[in-house]
Every structure is written in C-alpha cells, then in structure tokens.
Amino acid sequence: MRFVIVTCALLFGGAVAAQQAADAVAPEVSTGAEMGMSGPVEAQDWMIAVANPLAVRAGADVLRDGGTAADAMVAVQAVLGLVEPQSSGLGGGAFLVWYDAGSGALTTLDGRETAPLEATPRLFQDTQGTPLKFFDAVIGGRSVGTPGTPALMAEAHSRWGRKDWASLLEPAITLAQEGFAVSPRLAGLVARDAERLATHPDTAAYFLPGGVPVQQGSLLRNPAYAETLRHLAQDGVEAFYTGEIARDIVTEVRGAAGNPGVLSQTDLAIYKIKERAPVCVPYREHEVCGMGPPSSGALTVGQILGMLNHHDLAVLGPGSPQAWRLIGDASRLAFADRGRYMADSDFVPVPVKGLIADDYLAERAALLSGYRALDSVAPGAPEYDHALNWGDDDAIERPSTSHVSIVDADGNALSLTTTIENAFGSRVMVRGFLLNNELTDFSFRSHRDGVPVANRVEPGKRPRSSMAPTIVMTDGVPRLVIGSPGGSRIIGYVAKTIIAWADWGMDIQSALSYPHAVNRFGTYDLEAGTSAEALQAPLEALGYKTSVRDLNSGLHAIEIGHTLKGAADPRREGIAIGE
C-alpha cells in the first residue's frame, strides 16, 4: 500500500517525510487561502482529515489496523481533547453524520449539550431582565451544559466500532502522561486569553504555569486527563456520567466563584444521545445531507444551496461579483429564517419540511432576481403545521470548534463536528479537561416584542448550533464528506466549498483553500490577505457593507470517487492521511 499525506508547505516549511509530518506541529496561519497548497492527497483504501497531526496519526493507526471510521473517531476525539483543548473535548458536545456502506443508510446522532433541569429562560439576564454581556455569561459555571461528547463517542463505537474500546483511548492516555509539544496555535490562543484563563485555579495552573502562558514547543503533560481516560477505558462511558467524575464536574460548576451554574448530577445521569432524521436538500445532481435541529447547519446550508439551485453559478464563475451577490443574499435570507424558526425541535415545532420545500425555496430564490444587494431581508413564511408566532433570535455564537472527516476501508463515511463553543469554553477545568459554555448558544432574551423566542433557555433543551457536518450524496452513495469550525460562519464556509467543488469544478483541496466571502446579516466579510479583497469595491458598488478580516475556518474534507481525495484547511494545523 502507498502511504500518503498532505500538508501545507507554508505550514510545515516544505515537503517532509510522512512520519515527520505526523509528528510535526504547524505554525499559526491566519491569512487564509492562497498559500501554494498542493492538490488533494489520494489514496485507495481509507482516508482521514483532522485538525491536528497527532490526532490524525492516532486515527490513521486505527484505520491501518482494520478499524472502522467510528473506531478512528474515538481515538481522534480523545487526542483532540488533549492537544486542541480550546476547541473540543470530553466537556463538550458534537454532531455526527454516518454513512453505512453495508446498508446504504445515513444516520445522524445528536450529542449536543443539554440545559440543566434547574435552568430558566432568564438564566442569562440580570435581576432587571436585561441580557448579560457575553463574557459575563460565559466565564464560570453558569454557561455549562451537560456534556455530550463522551456519550457520542461510546454510542458510535457501540453501533459501528469493532476495536476494543479501551485500546482506542490508549494513544491519548500515552500522550497525556508522557507529554506533547504545544503547537503554535495553542500557544497563541493561550497568550491571547490569559486573563480569562486565570479566573479558574486548575485552568490557570495548567495553561499558565507560574503565571506564564505555555510556550510554543514546550512539553505539556496532563496526568489528570490520562487518569480520566483510564476510568473511561476501564469502566466505560458510565464512569463519566456517574460517580466521582460526575461529582467533580458538578462541584466545579456550582462552586465557580462569582458565576456559579446549576448543573446537577441528575443532569449527567439522565443524558442521552438522540438519533435524528437527516436533513437532505437537492443541489445540482447531488443531495446535501446533514444534521437537523437542534443544529441549524443542514437546514441553513440546504436553504442557501436550494435557492442557488435556481441560478447558474457555473456560468458566472468564482470571480463574478454577481455570483457572490447571489450567494450573499441567499445566505442572508436563510439566516433570517434561521433566527426565527430554528431551535431544538423537541421543545418547539420547527418547520423542517417547509423550510426546504421546493416551492418555498423557489419563492425565496425569486427575491434574488435583481442585480443589487437586497435592501433588507425578513423571515419567510414556510408551510407550517403548528401555530406560527416566534420572535427573532439574536444568540451569539463565537468561532471555535473542530471537524473530523473519515472514510474507512469498508466504505463507511463519518463527518463529525465537535466543540466546547467559545475558545476554552467556560474556562472551568476539571480532571484535565475543559467544560463547555454551550448554554450561551441560547438566546439571552426569552421574548422579543412580547413573543417567545424559539431558541430561549428551557430545562433539558439543547441550544441551537451552526455546526454542519455534511455528507454530499450522489445516486445514493457518498461523494463528499465535509465540515468546519467557525461559529455561525460554519454555514458559509461549508456552502462556499460545496459550490466551489460542484459548480466551479475545483478539486476538493482548491475548494477548501479558496478565499472566503461570508454574508450572514448584511455585512460581507472578506478574507484578509487573499483575492477576496478584490471583491470589496464591486460588492460595495452593489450596495453591501464590507469588512476585510481573518476568516479562520478549519475545513476538512474527503472526496470519494475512483480514489479517495483528502484535503485539510491551510488556515489551521490539520493534515489528511490515507493509504
């Protein structure tokens, strides 16, 4: 078998041997797309693309040894929680999309965090009912929801794994015990967030030893994390949700100085993974499938692409301001619907079928028929089988998160987006891992203009997310496995990459690397340091406000055809490996 690996020359300073690349730690790259990236890596049997070389290697070893994509994901997530703790980990949540090669079935699993049973719709309001400032809500225990990632790892393994559970945690245990080199990205983020990290004693001791941020290249050990994983290896995931680990989580959350939370051991003990119906929307000759509510990812990506299905982007091409007008205003219309209708469908009726119905998307697409930016956008009126009276949401979703794409030798495909929400989550650390701040993905307002907000806080509810793990199907089989971090910009990153691949004929690496231009709420964000800046004047002439800024996605994708083609986002530290 041929061992292949893709890296960014700028990240790793040129071609390196496969083993060196897997061991290497990449420097921070913030300018984005045009970095001389080579084409996608090709392989025959299996492929994995993940945000950190050490995590990729752990997953690749599992796949090389005959493990499934689900097995590899368990090993990858355990390592990511150690080497990329600001983005995901045992204290967070995730969504998983799985294609089963044997049955041809597509399954989506919801490992999103839940609001504690003691939470109320006024959780993020002061005594006068005024919404808190974002970081006043985030830092401490108030923002912590019941973690779902460990349960999702176990559920996926029980359904589709074949390797011994404990063996899949061993790579992370070894790294935690022996130490790993701090990557430039982690070091930079720690330095940037040092003041907030200092608010919790265990967090400060780990990331700011002696009051100094951990340095790039220094060896960082986490024996507490190793011990936590040993408990999970020996006793299964129940060890996380009951017993001493659960007790310690609750103690830290409820005892957080100045901003305690209301998570209880009961919340942990009753947590369950939920299987949801996939959301699939036709685009060109494909079907774009992903996670439904409480994720807004598949619905909003699907709405954008469904509207654009009525316009010929291939003829316009990627350099056309009119192409980006169509993409930008389709996104604005979809985000207007997202703000009003999308939330946890176990608590509010979400018009899923109505939002992606052909006639509704055609009606919304007709709004794009002009030549200038829409003066304003508003939610539409999709077909709805319940009373329809919701207030618009203004929940803040900060970029962080990580994405995993895997195809195994059996042809199973896995797309997983995993997060603790804001970088470093709540900044509360327990037993070697950080706890999420996912509850701040709820609307801080319970009502607007006297009308309830669909995404308001409620006990047991899962906050709306923009995570969009996606599998693009063609004639019933997967063609593309993709997803990204990036807060609410995830939706734009994924949609742009699918358009670049499906409409503009780019290979998957070129599509990932292509400069970002994202419009959610009216202002067009253009990726700094790339050719996207050339769109600024034309888009402003069309009536848009623009903002040139870093757009640090973390797309990881695999194209499935006669061979497997893997791609990693050059804006981050990830790589793709296959054989």
3-state secondary structure of 453: strand
Tokens of 245: 């680990």
Evaluate if residue 386 carries a pLDDT over 60.
no
Q: Write down the pLDDT at residue 385.
A: 54
Sign of CA dihedral 439, 444, 448, 451: positive
Tokens of 496: 């742009």
Rounded to an integer, what distance in angstroms lies between the CA atom of residue 34 and that of residue 553? Answer: 14
In this structure, how many other beta carbons lie within 10 angstroms of the beta carbon of residue 385? 9
Helix (H) or strand (E) holding 416: strand 413-419
How does pLDDT run across 295-352, given as a tens digit for each residue? 999 999 999 999 999 999 999 999 999 999 999 999 999 999 999 999 999 999 999 9
Rounded to an integer, what distance in angstroms lies between the CA atom of residue 415 and that of residue 403? Answer: 8
Antiparallel, parallel or unpaired: β 106-111 and 447-448: unpaired
Tokens of 30: 């913030």
Q: Is the Cβ–Cβ distance between 342 and 464 less than 8 Å?
A: yes
How does pLDDT run across 502-535, given as a tens digit for each residue? 999 999 999 999 999 999 999 999 999 999 999 9
Q: Quote the percentage of the chain above a pLDDT of 90.
A: 86
Q: Write down the pLDDT at residue 394.
A: 54
Evaluate if residue 354 carries a pLDDT over 90.
yes
CA distances (Å), origin 309, targets 272, 283, 337: 37, 6, 18
How does pLDDT run across 474-511, given as a tens digit for each residue? 999 999 999 999 999 999 999 999 999 999 999 999 99
Q: In what order do the strands lie in the sheet with 545-549?
A: 517-519, 523-527, 545-549
DSSP one-letter code for 560: E
Q: Is the Cβ–Cβ distance between 272 and 114 less than 8 Å?
A: no
- Domains in the chain, ordered, with CATH? 4-275+396-542+546-578 (3.60.20.40)
Rounded to an integer, what distance in angstroms lies between the CA atom of residue 452 and that of residue 463? Answer: 15
Residue 258: pLDDT band by 50, 70, 90 thresholds? confident
Rounded to an integer, what distance in angstroms lies between the CA atom of residue 329 and that of residue 341? Answer: 18
CA distances (Å), origin 153, targets 14, 100, 165, 273: 35, 17, 10, 10
Tokens 């009502």 correspond to 447
Q: Is the Cβ–Cβ distance between 335 and 373 less than 8 Å?
A: no
Residue 445: pLDDT band by 50, 70, 90 thresholds? confident
Tally of CA atoms within 13 A in the half-sphere of 300 that contains its CB: 37
Tokens of 417: 């987006």
- Which residue, 41, 46, 40, 54, is CA-closest to 1? 46
Q: Is the Cβ–Cβ distance between 517 and 327 less than 8 Å?
A: yes
DSSP one-letter code for 248: H
Helix (H) or strand (E) holding 238: helix 238-241
Evaluate if residue 190 carries a pLDDT over 70.
yes
Evaluate if residue 239 carries a pLDDT over 80.
yes
Evaluate if residue 288 carries a pLDDT over 70.
yes
How does pLDDT run across 109-164, given as a tens digit for each residue? 999 999 999 999 999 999 888 999 999 999 999 999 999 999 999 999 999 999 99
Q: Which residues are within 8 A (CB) of 231 and not within 5 positions of it... i.e. 6 or more apart?
A: 239, 240, 245
Start-end of H helices in 134-222:
134-138, 149-160, 165-178, 184-192, 194-197, 201-207
Q: Is the Cβ–Cβ distance between 74 and 165 less than 8 Å?
A: yes
Catalytic, 401? Answer yes
- Max Cα-Cα span within the chain: 66
Which of 108, 146, 401, 470 does the annotation list as catalytic? 401
Q: Write down the pLDDT at residue 388.
A: 53
Q: Apex CA 467: angle with CA 329 and CA 307, to 5°?
A: 30
Helix (H) or strand (E) holding 290: strand 286-290
Q: Which residues are within 8 A (CB) of 387 and not within 5 positions of it... i.e. 6 or more apart?
A: none
Q: Apex CA 340: angle with CA 338 and CA 342, to 5°?
A: 50
Evaluate if residue 235 carries a pLDDT over 80.
yes
In angstroms, what is the C-alpha Rg of the chain?
Answer: 22
Dihedral angle of Cα 139, 121, 488, 548, to the nearest 10 degrees:
-70
Rounded to an integer, what distance in angstroms lies between the CA atom of residue 81 and that of residue 91? Answer: 9
In this structure, how many other beta carbons lie within 10 angstroms of the beta carbon of residue 241? 22
Evaluate if residue 441 carries a pLDDT over 50.
yes
Average per-residue pLDDT for the chain = 91
CA distances (Å), origin 546, targets 32, 78, 252, 377: 17, 39, 43, 17
Evaluate if residue 56 carries a pLDDT over 70.
yes
Over range 184-208, report the average pLDDT: 96
Over range 166-181, report the average pLDDT: 98
Over range 393-418, report the average pLDDT: 84
How does pLDDT run across 4-51, given as a tens digit for each residue? 333 333 232 222 233 233 333 322 323 333 444 578 999 999 999 999
Tally of CA atoms within 13 A in the half-sphere of 47 that contains its CB: 31
Over range 95-109, report the average pLDDT: 98
Q: Is the Cβ–Cβ distance between 550 and 528 less than 8 Å?
A: yes
Q: Is the peptide bond before 294 cis (omega within 30 degrees of 0)?
A: yes
Over range 93-114, report the average pLDDT: 98
